[in-house]
Structure 1
Amino acid sequence: MTGSEAVYPKTDSITDHECDLYQSEIGSDLVQSHGVLFILSYPDLIIQQVSANLSDHFNLLPEDLLGQFLSNLLEPDSIALIQQILPTNQPTYLPYLRSHTPQRDWEGNFHYNEQSVLLELEPLQAESNPHGLAVSHLRLRSAIGRLQQVSSLSDFLQLGAAEIQALTGFDRVMVYQFDAQGAGEVVAEAKRPDLSPYLGLHFPATDIPEPSRRLYAEGLLRYIPDLSAAEVPLMPAENPLTHQPPDLSFVTLRGTDPCCVEYHRNMGVSALMVIALLNNQQLWGLISCHHQTPKRIPGDVRSVCELLGQFITAELANKVNYEELDAIVKLKRRQSEFVESIAQAEDLKTALVHPAPRILDLVNAKGAAVCLDDEITLVGATPSLEQVQDLIQWATTQISDSLFHTDSLPKQYPAAEAYKETATGLLLLRISQVRRYYILWFRPEVLRTVNWAGDPTASLQVGADGHLTLSPRRSFEQWQETVRLTSQPWHPSELANALDLRNAIVGIVLNKADELARMNQALERSNQELESFAYAASHDLKEPLRGIHNYATFLMEDYQELLDEAGLDRLQTLVRLTQRMESLIDVLLKFSQLGQTDLSRQPTDLNELLTQVINVFRISHPQARIDIRIPRLLPTVNVDPVLVNEVFSNLLSNADKYNNQAQPWVEIGYLDAAEAIEQVPSADPQTLTKPIFYVRDNGIGIRERHLETIFRLFKRLHPQTMYGGGTGAGLTIAKKIVERHGGEMWVNSNYGEGSVFYFTLE
């Protein structure tokens, strides 16, 4: 039978009430009739409850034993054995117990639970070998020896199924593996030759609902020798001591849910045994044994099968899928090469996306997007840039983990269906929790055909009220489904590679940050030493320079008659040079002091400060024709007013000095964050949280190649005789003052049209 593009209701949409059919499988208060269940108080072992079929196995009625000591039923050696092992929460198999009413041999299981001892007795079968347990353990050792010689996971599971079948004689033994959604697949099978195979068939999650999977995760062995046998209640129904029905979760004789019975009958099964397989304390799968007729399995054989199941569980993580191993080795090699190249690169983005195939091969993706803040680079087959931006925005609000993956993105983010051909599968890696750094890998939609054991929707029926109910499926004939909107799933090794990449990037960035911090510390020490040297040198140079200046002046005054015109010119030049050198030394001294003195911060009204600057400028530059414009009031900031006064003074003086327009003007103002985003695209985004001050003029402007060099100490772009001379230190000092306040200074300029100096103050 073939189905096409089937759409399945989610099992989590079934209410708890509608799951009662399966919940009763766990909470059943009935007992299978091939044995007898006793509920005993502890430590006195008084019988509080007993299954109603007592008289079928003993010459006694339930009321004959209720309230009596267990020793009234079992011989002293058997009682002593039980007391020796109690209390234990784990079901314990007892291969031989003997009753004296009547004298008969039994095998049993018991465990302690909530102040009660739950004891199960089953008649020791007449054909049982008196050395049965020893023989079974010899067979177990042989089976384990054969399994230990197998390294391939698939061969290991197949041999495990065959060994269980050889031990028990069941018609069919299957190894059933769960997927992440709770559905399962038969991955190994040993069966009678005439039976139709189930190998490779899938079973929906509703066949073994989540409550049952939880119980199996405790390591449960389930055994039902006859699905058609009558079941009996406990007498009384409630424990007289706890006034509650007992918890029969770990009782082998626990009754079977009618839905489970009907389900297996529809499969042609009359007897079954199920062994849980765990991996890393999670339910990995089941060994499911089926028989077409009722089948009794002695307790010693069941015990050995349980031990063999535990061995298979322990070995699951050690067995190798060679194809997967080869793929993992290749992925690790790619990762190692990738990380090495990132460590050597100067630019993270370039290292990630060049050459392009490398970032894709890391996780076997077809496309990728590298997002570093607002810069997104697309590699390979991807959605459009706008679609990726929207996807990242969704991920930012919906995903908090460092790693997110799905093989069906449209089911979680419906907009992704529009680009399913490129991005049905998504693996998203968040590199930074602070910055907007992501790597997204994409996989296209892959149409898959899944072979189900019967129509998986047949167990879900919609009632008249629209609610879903569960009922057993009647057909297990192969049923094919075409699955859409899914990609190839992401393998655990690929997810591990992505996380390792993140850790490597973080480690590399931290190492580079440490290296940069060490360099900054060394540079800071060098700067401090240089500033100290500059201060000492400039201070010490002034005295001999002043002597040269004075002696040259004395020569001109006292020996003027003895010197010719050329001699006087040379002395005048010497005086001018000493004056200029003294100016340069004063600047150097001032510059070095900026790095050594503490700031005297205080709330400063920049409007008052600017008024002082303009007044001093007008007095010192009486011939200045420049129009000073202040479009709006400036804010009050916490700064050193003396130093900030010098910043505005230098910028205002330069705006006047380097202006040859007929109507020169200068504008002094500030921009808030919104204005800065629109008007200053060159601004660092981190500066947009504080006001950006500016001084704009219509002067001569600056060529682009000089925009950085103008801030160098003693750097002039014009000869000393042009634009009023100067030392070339004003902008250097202004920038130093701004940086001492924790701010930045930069310039935008159009040559011949004017310049705008921007700066921030913290």
Structure 2
Amino acid sequence: MQNYKNLKVDLSNCDTEPIHIIGRIQPHGFLLILDHATLQVEQVSSNISEFLDVTQEELIGKKLELFCSGEGYLLLEKQLRNAVKLNPQLLLVQGKLFFGFIHETNGKLVLECEPSSPSADQQRLENTFLFSNFQSELDTTDELEGQAQLLVNHVQQVLNYDRVMLYVFDEEWNGEVIAERKKTGVHSYLHHHFPATDIPAPARDLLQKKHVRQIPDVEAEAVDIVPYINATTAAPTNIILSELRNPSEIHLEYLKNMGVSATLSFSIMVRGKLWGLITCHNLSPVFIDYWKRQLCYLIAKAFSNAVMAGHEKRDIGTLEHYKQIEEQLIQQMSSSDEVVQGLFYGKHTLLDITEGAAAAVFIHNKLTRSEFAPEECQVMEIIDWLVANSNNRVFSTRQLSKVMPGAVAFQDKASGLLALEISRYNKEYILYFKPEIRETRIWAGNPEKPERGADKILHPRKSFQNWEEVIKGKSLPWTMNELEITEILLKDITTILLRNQAQQLNQLNLELKVNAEDLRTKNSRLEDFTNIITHNLRSPLRNIRGLHKLYMAEPTQDVAAEVMARISGMADNLSATIDDLNLILKATIEKPLPQGDVPIESIIETEKQNLQDEILQSNAKFVTDLSLKTLSIPKVYLESILHNLISNALKYKSNKRQPLITIKAWQDEQNSFLSVSDNGLGMDLEKVGARLFMLYKTFHHNKNSKGLGLYLTKMQIEGLGGHISVESEPDKGTTFLITLPNVQ
């Protein structure tokens, strides 16, 4: 059978080949698949009888006691149960010594055995010496080139393979041989490149999980696992971590085309990622025992650590330099009015923290570009593409035209792109650009010409002769340092922008509070005006009614003339008041109330006219003492205040005596004073207390009392920064004193 039932693999589908369910193994060992709980055999390799005195038919459905009973079985069971802690293990079965490789998969135990011969102490000493010597030399070699050559030299010495190469992956999983040790007459692949398709994704995934992989003979006939479908799971068993699993048929064909008969590979893992491979080729079949494989694996791990240490040593120095510049950039931005100014026009620019040749920033709907950047329309085209296609806050590529076809037009300036997303919604980005480089790359054969055979199936290439290609549309790659420092920059810029936005929001909140307070003040004033209109106009209207009654009682021509003259004067006063209120209303909506020097005596006379009917009926007498002639106050407020206080003095007059109303005005260095006194009913202030100026509170029985005048007066005076006080005694009268700060 082939590796799979009902599946033919060629170059068209090898990148999705399910190598974990290959149903065959290599013939240099045998395989058993056991129930984890009972150790009952469920599948077995068909070559079991070549290693043990038992057939596959006898084993399936039985426990291992069939060929290993008594104390031998108890020891084997203990070793299988302990496999997680110790793997591989030396197993003694039917008097034969095997290396037992054991792993668990989906509730099954996969047991693989390859014959083991006792290792001489001398060989172990030599292996220890070789590793110690390699480690010592590695510790004294700083450059990667020297370390790589040291690696292949030692591995070739241990294995005696015809060719040992160090094969390193690039960011697109193409490979390059950067070091090689070979025997005389063997073809060299040093500095040759191999396409990513040579080691497709499933194979790379396997190399990350299983770091040692041996094929002793590419021509060896594979051994079936029977049955292929596990009866308890109704599916092939996952043997991805198998030591003996048969290779992909495509890979075997590839090796044959290279003229290779045996291979051994060791994964180089750096920071948890597949960095490269030690690839060993032999032109004739050869089996390498576990001890030598393990020695080379330890050498590979030591080299991996050296690579990582070298990277970290170089990275830390460069990264620290970048960090210092980035901190200064942030300081520049913090002290600048705009973020862009701090990024482009200070001692340092954002280009100083990468090897990029140009940069652009689009923020607050404004694009800023450095020299050598693509044109404005091209930069915006890139941003539009990022918004539509990239979900990562940091996006990088060294071949932009591969993912964005339109970028071919400006690949001379922007083959490489590193994009930092500030706000995808607002299309705000920081962009770094690297120009196209022209690179001549030597491939081991044409990587783009797979061959279709007579069976009409795509096969691996047969030629591995030198094939030169001029690489276009690519830039130098973005380093880990560049990616890391720009991520830091993005976070810091985002922090600054958020801080600025927070400050702007705080300022807006303050302005909103001021505006809200202003609106409350204006609303209060509008309410005052409503009350002023209602209150101030009620008395003139009441006087007009009184004059009308006077005329109706004595409808003579003389009385009519007198009434009409008085009404005319009141109407003029009402009209003037309404005009003033309209002007004040318009001003209130837009700005504070206008203040000016208002003549006090003129306002008193106006209010006496408005209250003339009540004055005539009460025969009230007025006395004025105005050493202060004017007040700096809104005219409408002074009218309202005097109107309320005079009308109250008339309203709460005493029937025992002629009403006397005294109005005084004076000032000192700090304040201006206005008082209105009467000899009316007076009040018991101990009883009235703080309620005197409360809304709708009255303290004498009077049909015209509304409890509004004093409330309005107090609110208006306090609105001007002043205050009002009162002195009063029952049946003696009341004095209201208004204190207003002088206008500086």
* Same structural fold, with TM-score higher than 0.5 when normalized by the shorter chain: yes
Counterpart position of 2:665: none
Query: What letter corresponds to residue 12 of structure 2 in structure 1?
Result: E
CA displacement 1:465-500 (0-9 Å, x = unmatched): 9xxx64222222222111112222222222222222
Counterpart CA distance in 1 for 2:37 and 2:387 is 59
Structure 1 contact 362–494 (Cα < 8 Å) conserved: yes
The question of 1:509 aligning with 2:497 is answered: yes
Counterpart CA distance in 2 for 1:161 and 1:550 is 113
Counterpart position of 2:463: 475
Q: Which of 265, 275, 282 is the matching residue for 2:273?
A: 282
Q: Which of 101, 106, 115 is the matching residue for 1:109?
A: 101
| Aligned positions of 1:265-344 closer than 5 A | 265-313=256-304, 316-320=307-311, 327-344=318-335
Secondary structure of 2:209's aligned partner: coil
- Give the TM-score of the pair, scaled to structure 2: 0.64
Counterpart position of 1:263: 254
Counterpart position of 1:234: 225
Counterpart CA distance in 2 for 1:514 and 1:242 is 60
Counterpart position of 2:171: 180
Structure 2 contact 417–434 (Cα < 8 Å) conserved: yes
Counterpart position of 1:351: 342
- 145-154 or 111-120, larger mean C-alpha shift: 145-154
Counterpart CA distance in 2 for 1:91 and 1:244 is 28
Counterpart CA distance in 2 for 1:86 and 1:282 is 31
Distance 1:415 1:32, change over 3 A: closer
| Aligned positions of 1:130-209 closer than 5 A | 136=127, 139-140=130-131, 143-144=134-135, 146-192=137-183, 194-209=185-200
What is the deviation of 1:572? 12
Unpaired segments of 5 or more residues in structure 1? 1-13, 537-541, 558-570, 590-762
Counterpart CA distance in 2 for 1:170 and 1:352 is 56
Secondary structure of 1:493's aligned partner: helix
CA displacement 1:526-583 (0-9 Å, x = unmatched): 99999999999xxxxx9xx9998349989xx9xxxxxxxxxxxxx99985x53x6444
Structure 2 contact 16–201 (Cα < 8 Å) conserved: no
The question of 1:63 aligning with 2:57 is answered: yes
Distance 1:62 1:312, change over 3 A: same
The question of 1:83 aligning with 2:77 is answered: yes
What is the deviation of 1:251? 1.7
Distance 1:239 1:393, change over 3 A: closer
Structure 1 contact 21–259 (Cα < 8 Å) conserved: no
CA displacement 1:84-127 (0-9 Å, x = unmatched): 34447869644533233xx333222222323332222222237x
What is the deviation of 1:167? 3.0
The question of 1:97 aligning with 2:91 is answered: yes
The question of 1:497 aligning with 2:463 is answered: no
Distance 1:398 1:448, change over 3 A: same
Q: How many residues align?
A: 548
Query: What letter corresponds to residue 152 of structure 2 in structure 1?
Result: A
Counterpart CA distance in 1 for 2:348 and 2:452 is 48
- Give the TM-score of the pair, scaled to structure 1: 0.62
The question of 1:120 aligning with 2:171 is answered: no
Structure 1 contact 382–422 (Cα < 8 Å) conserved: yes
Query: What letter corresponds to residue 364 of structure 2 in structure 1?
Result: D
What is the deviation of 1:289? 1.6
Unpaired segments of 5 or more residues in structure 2? 1-7, 526-592, 609-624, 642-744
Secondary structure of 1:319's aligned partner: helix
What is the deviation of 1:223? 0.9
Higher relative contact order (CA 8 A, sep 6+): 1
Q: Which of 46, 52, 61 is the matching residue for 2:40?
A: 46
Counterpart CA distance in 1 for 2:194 and 2:626 is 106
Structure 2 contact 88–100 (Cα < 8 Å) conserved: yes
Q: Which of 217, 220, 225 is the matching residue for 2:208?
A: 217
What is the deviation of 1:168? 2.6
What is the deviation of 1:447? 1.5
What is the deviation of 1:585? 8.2
Structure 1 contact 48–67 (Cα < 8 Å) conserved: yes
Structure 1 contact 455–479 (Cα < 8 Å) conserved: yes
Query: What letter corresponds to residue 269 of structure 2 in structure 1?
Result: L
Distance 1:380 1:463, change over 3 A: farther
Query: What letter corresponds to residue 222 of structure 1 in structure 2?
Result: R
Counterpart position of 2:428: 437
What is the deviation of 1:209? 0.9
Counterpart position of 2:713: none
Query: What letter corresponds to residue 377 of structure 1 in structure 2?
Result: T
Counterpart position of 1:741: none
Counterpart CA distance in 1 for 2:283 and 2:125 is 29
Structure 2 contact 420–431 (Cα < 8 Å) conserved: yes
What is the deviation of 1:368? 2.3
Counterpart CA distance in 2 for 1:77 and 1:157 is 49
What is the deviation of 1:205? 1.1
Identity of aligned residues (%): 27
Distance 1:124 1:441, change over 3 A: closer
What is the deviation of 1:274? 1.5
Counterpart position of 1:363: 354
Secondary structure of 1:254's aligned partner: coil
The question of 1:375 aligning with 2:366 is answered: yes
Structure 2 contact 11–458 (Cα < 8 Å) conserved: no
What is the deviation of 1:203? 0.8
Q: Which of 578, 600, 617 is the matching residue for 1:549?
A: 600
Structure 2 contact 54–67 (Cα < 8 Å) conserved: no
Distance 1:243 1:533, change over 3 A: closer
Counterpart position of 2:476: 488
| Aligned positions of 1:365-404 closer than 5 A | 365-404=356-395
Counterpart CA distance in 2 for 1:224 and 1:452 is 24
Query: What letter corresponds to residue 600 of structure 2 in structure 1?
Result: H
Counterpart CA distance in 2 for 1:471 and 1:395 is 38
Counterpart CA distance in 1 for 2:260 and 2:628 is 117
